[in-house]
Amino acid sequence: MAEVHQVESEEAMRALGASLLCRLKPGDAVLLEGELGAGKTTLARGLIEAAGWTEPVRSPTFNLIQEYNTEPPVLHADLYRLKSAFGIGLEDSLETHVCLIEWPDRLGGLIDAEEAYLVEIEFDEPGRLVTITEPS
């Protein structure tokens, strides 16, 4: 079942990310879909901070993967610059981390989408419309 949230600010997007953390455990994947600038990294930032990370959370656009030693451990990947995620080391953390994946269309089958949380973020001025679908 999908739930829909109207998000009006950056703070609200971070809070939504933080609220998602309580549903997740190592081995869970969250597929973050949305256009550039929609708020995928902002939602991820809220989740990572809620897991206990106190330093700045930056988008992993250039280094592709960022791991956070939090509870639970979190891996944040941004696959925007790739055609495929094979060979970048993502598969090494799929069972031991909560994996936040931006641009999941580039996963190439590494994660079964039906077993992952799907977060779709759409522009809906003045904010965003966020649809969260839990695994089937």
Select the CATH number that applies to the domain covering 2-133 from these four: 3.40.50.300, 3.20.20.100, 3.40.50.2300, 3.30.2350.10: 3.40.50.300
**So where are the chain's domains?**
2-133
pLDDT by position in tens, the chain (length 136)? 799 999 999 999 999 999 999 999 999 999 999 999 999 999 999 999 999 999 999 888 777 889 999 999 999 998 887 667 666 778 888 899 999 999 999 888 888 889 999 999 999 989 999 999 999 8
CB 113 within 8 A of CB 102: no
Whether the predicted model's global pTM rises above the 0.95 cut: no
The Cα 97–Cα 34 span in angstroms is 23
pLDDT of residue 48: 98
pLDDT at 86 (0 to 100) = 65
Q: What is the pLDDT of residue 58?
A: 86
What does the pLDDT read at residue 10?
96
